[in-house]
Amino acid sequence: MKYSPQEIMQYVREEDVKFIRLAFCDIYGKQKNISIMPSELSRAFEYGIAIDASAIDGFGDEARSDLLLHPDPETLAVLPWRPEHGRVIRLFCDITYPDGKTFECDTRSFLKKAIADAKKEGISFAFGAEMEFYLFNLDENGKPTRIPYDHAGYMDIAPDDRGENVRREICLTLEQMGIRPESSHHEQGPGQNEIDFRYSDALSAADNAMTFQTVVKTVADRNGLYADFSPKPLAGQPGSGLHINMSAQSASGEDILPYLIAGTLEKVSDMTVFLNPSEKSYERFGSSKAPKYISWSTENRSQLVRVPAAVGEFRRAELRSPDPTANPYLAFALLIYAGLYGIKNRRMPPESVDINLFTAGPEILNTLKALPDSLKAAVEVMKNSSFIQELLPEKMIEIYSAGNSFRS
């Protein structure tokens, strides 16, 4: 629902709100926040709230450390796990320098720019995320272990699936925050779970992905568990993916999904360091439904891009390589630009590969191009990509070129 700043301030007065969390994320996609009191909210909307950027990885140094947070009133959400009396609300923010110039490493603003560029071309994009995570037990000191909460398998039920009630609480909490989960189930790995979202516009989808990780970690902690979003937490077990469902509509009504698929396939190697930004990301490729080769097909889960069996408004392409360590704002923005490249140049995808690539022999696999097989390789592809160099600010490229393992 869309709110104005005046409506937000009225809500704060009438609903006993005592704290406002101004949320943003660093360049790697880790959520941050600062809490302000209700008396500071009008100043936040009018001028912004200053933060020390030098203390945030990738945001700057002491020489130019002041940045301003500008809350987006359309992102209002009450935090249901906080007290009902003396409520806490959250607003996502855009980030600027004191002179009003957009901060170049604000990935939320970068996604907004991508959406605006697509709109100029008469194209609108929609995204839906499928995010996997593990639930692990805590030790006697409350520290995370690598002991799974259960040993259930794919779509098992209770009592084998011990995560059922945790997923239920997560879904109900998300609904209270205005987010619509579509389904949830136990995944293949021990203690591994998945919750899927209904598609929405790109900015809302990225905001929801950020909110989702916060809710999952909070609910898990309240249940004495640790939620792990790393791409490969257990050796010999399935990794966790961030499957991104995407579609595009043209103002002309033309079917542009083939062009979107083609653009994604052509530019995916260039984008891989942003879609899979940790060393562990590359241990996941090539097994347990995590693709390794650049190909597409209908329904086939061994492919990089899958076109699910859906019609009408639900017709879409699913990109299966990303994992939850990706910054969703950056990932969705780059996918929009890759899609626009395919659409504007009317690129057509290669012939579909309608076989199971996980069991295919070398005579098939040797004909296909593979994704980068390490973080170092992905960085090198990105550094030599004119597509990336033309889109991203130099500072952002420099940070990702360091090739660090960004977050767990």
Sequence-distant (≥ 6) Cβ neighbours of residue 170 within 8 angstroms: 181, 184, 195, 215, 216, 219
pLDDT of residue 63: 55
Round to whole Å and give the CA distance between 343 and 172.
38
What does each C-alpha distance from 209 to 48, 186, 282, 340 come to in angstroms? Answer: 24, 19, 22, 23
Position 82 pLDDT exceeds 60: yes
125-158 burial, b at 16+ Cβ within 10 Å, e below that, comes to bbbbbbbbbbbbeeeeeeebeeebbbebeeebee
What does each C-alpha distance from 345 to 194, 260, 297, 348 come to in angstroms? Answer: 36, 10, 21, 9
Strand-pair partners of 71:
93
pLDDT grade, residue 197 (50/70/90)? confident
What are the tokens at 76?
A: 């209002």
Please name the fold of domain 113-401: Creatine Kinase; Chain A, domain 2 (3.30.590)
Sequence-distant (≥ 6) Cβ neighbours of residue 91 within 8 angstroms: 8, 20, 21, 22, 23, 71, 72, 73, 75, 76, 77
So where are the chain's domains? 5-103, 113-401
* CATH code assigned to 5-103: 3.10.20.70
Give the residue, 84 or 210, on which the prediction is more confident: 210
pLDDT grade, residue 402 (50/70/90)? confident
pTM: 0.95
- H helices of 240-371, in order, are 257-275, 281-284, 328-344, 362-365
Mean pLDDT of 378-391: 97
Round to whole Å and give the CA distance between 213 and 199.
17
Smallest Cα–Cα separation from 251: which of 92, 392, 122? 122
Sequence-distant (≥ 6) Cβ neighbours of residue 42 within 8 angstroms: 5, 9
Backbone angles phi, psi at 136, to 5 degrees: -115, 150
Give the residue, 58 or 62, on which the prediction is more confident: 58
Position 359 pLDDT exceeds 90: no
Question: Directed axis angle between helix 375-383 and helix 257-275, to 10°?
Answer: 120
Q: What is the DSSP letter of 188?
A: S
Round to whole Å and give the CA distance between 388 and 330.
12
Round to whole Å and give the CA distance between 183 and 396.
35
pLDDT grade, residue 407 (50/70/90)? very low
For residue range 286-322, what is the model confidence (pLDDT) as tens digits? 887 889 999 999 878 889 999 987 777 668 999 999 9
Backbone angles phi, psi at 141, to 5 degrees: -100, 10
CA dihedral 73, 242, 220, 171 (to 10 degrees): 60
* Cβ count within 10 A of residue 289: 16
Strand-pair partners of 192:
134
CA dihedral 109, 381, 369, 115 (to 10 degrees): 10
